[in-house]
Amino acid sequence: MHRFVHAVSLQLTDKCKKSLSRIFRLCDLDNDGCLSDTELSLFQRRCFHMDLESGTLDSLKAVVQKSCPSGLTKEGLLNAKGFLALNGLFIQRGRHETTWTILRRFGYDDDLNLHREFLYPSLKVPQGCSVELSHEGYDFLTAVFEKYDQDGDRALNPQELVNLFSTCPVMPWGPEVYNTAPVSDKGWISLHGYLGLWTLATLLDTRQTLEYLAYLGYTYYTGEETALPALQVTRDRRADLAKRQTTRNVYRCHVIGPRDAGKTTFCQGLLGRGRREAGALRPGEVPRNTVNTVTVYGQEKYLVLEDIDVRHLNDALMPAEVLCDVCCLVYDVANPRSFEFVARIYLVRIFFCFKLQCHSFMGYFFRRNTTPTPRSPSWCAGTSLSSLPSDRITFCNQRHSAASTR
């Protein structure tokens, strides 16, 4: 009982108030600050697996009205203060099991902390596979967006974004997210960009996505025991290559090259921004990844670009830095040695790593201020570094010819 109320005053402890207040916000599905009769009925079914009996709601409201008049709105709806008062009465009257049942349903343990198993359910991801949001996951995240988009403009202003994550310990997104995914005309996170950010988060850190789905109330909203149905594990890339088809919806492109080659401009171009806008970004605002949707054979897919710096030719590319679907080599046309630099990266570093990973490779050689030019799938054909051509057209033609003869 000491976890719920103070021994002397019999008032709810701060930790108990915090937990119950969070539960109230999750149950307030329309974010109007009170629980309607419909929301209370859903709360009853989710927590106690039964419907409210006729007259029960009126009885509960009468109890709240008597003990805490300000716990009901003028319309007679239960607000946060009334929700806390009602649970306080349950505890004071020895009905601890009622409040415990509520807390357990929302993942709390004996110390009023969220269970690790609740936050991080086990998910096995075989090598060569990736994790994406399922339709159920996108539906839930869209519902959360709409709940906190109070002005209905299909974008989250800074305060709405703070409110959205009010049931989470910390805000998972920093200022760089405004340059990571599409934003509205006002520079706020649009629904399109918001779903893109969650798509990116799921690809890069599945564990964190599961954690925040739990914080945001996925299990309560859907009635599931864990957040696992919000995700789906893709088929092994090697199987996709063998069958020449895939059902994946998210593709990863690593943008590799030396600094000052135009990688930031290239990545920001995915968001429809030009060189001037990209150049105006301050260091803390430049994201490592950008994400947006692209149309592939009439279907909308997510494309994730990741900016990878290579300062010196001797710098080793880690396996994670070439573990992707596409590599894009970026060079500066104004620098005579820039193309030779990325060509050597391709021959010495990328090809062998890709061969080991059994992934496909598509080379994109991008010149600053020009449109990226795709070449055919290219594989190293034994070119010696001493005979490496400095001319990009010759180099690309050699790679094309080598691939065509295989």
- Which pLDDT does position 401 carry in this prediction? 60
Is beta strand 299-309 parallel, antiparallel or unpaired with respect to 250-257? Answer: parallel
Q: 3-state SS of 122-186?
A: CCCCCCCCCEEECHHHHHHHHHHHHHHCCCCCCEECHHHHHHHCCCCCCCCCCHHHHHCCCECCC
Per-residue model confidence as pLDDT tens for the chain (406 residues): 556 767 556 688 999 999 999 999 999 999 999 999 999 999 999 999 999 887 889 999 999 999 999 999 999 999 999 999 999 998 888 888 999 999 999 999 999 999 999 999 999 999 889 999 999 999 999 999 999 999 999 999 999 999 999 999 999 999 999 999 999 999 999 999 999 999 999 999 999 999 999 999 999 999 999 999 999 999 998 898 888 888 899 999 999 888 888 999 999 999 999 989 998 998 888 999 999 999 988 999 999 999 988 877 666 677 677 778 888 888 888 887 788 888 877 776 555 555 544 444 333 334 444 434 333 333 333 334 445 555 666 777 766 565 555 4
What values do phi and psi take at 236, rounded to 5? -55, 135
How does 31-51 read in b/e, with b if 16+ C-beta sit within 10 Å? beebbeeebbebbbebbeeee
Q: Tokens for 318?
A: 């880690």
Nearest to 294 by CA among 269, 328, 329, 263: 269
C-beta of residue 2 within 8 angstroms of C-beta of residue 111:
no
* Burial class, 141, CB count within 10 angstroms (exposed 0-12 / middle 13-18 / buried 19+): buried
| DSSP line for 70-98 | GGB-TTS-EEHHHHHHHHHHHHHTT-HHH
* Burial class, 179, CB count within 10 angstroms (exposed 0-12 / middle 13-18 / buried 19+): buried
In whole angstroms, give the CA distance from residue 285 to residue 47: 43
Q: Tokens for 291?
A: 């994400």
- Which pLDDT does position 84 carry in this prediction? 96
C-beta of residue 373 within 8 angstroms of C-beta of residue 365:
yes
In whole angstroms, give the CA distance from residue 34 to residue 71: 10
In whole angstroms, give the CA distance from residue 308 to residue 349: 13
Q: Quote the CATH superfamily of domain 14-113.
A: EF-hand (1.10.238.10)
Q: C-alpha dihedral over 19, 21, 25, 26, to 10 degrees?
A: 30
Residue entry with tokens 């349903």: 105
Position 362: which residue type?
M
What is the CA 58 to chain-centroid distance, rounded?
41
Question: Are both 118-238 and 249-404 of the same fold?
Answer: no
- Which pLDDT does position 242 carry in this prediction? 87
**What CATH number has the domain spanning 118-238?**
1.10.238.10
Third-level CATH fold of 249-404: Rossmann fold (3.40.50)
Structural domain boundaries in the chain: 14-113, 118-238, 249-404
Q: Tokens for 353?
A: 């790593």
Is beta strand 363-367 parallel, antiparallel or unpaired with respect to 373-374? Answer: antiparallel
Partners of residue 72 on adjacent β-strands:
78
C-beta of residue 168 within 8 angstroms of C-beta of residue 26:
no
Nearest to 378 by CA among 356, 405, 339, 340: 405
- Which pLDDT does position 374 carry in this prediction? 35
User: Full-prediction pTM beyond 0.85?
Assistant: yes
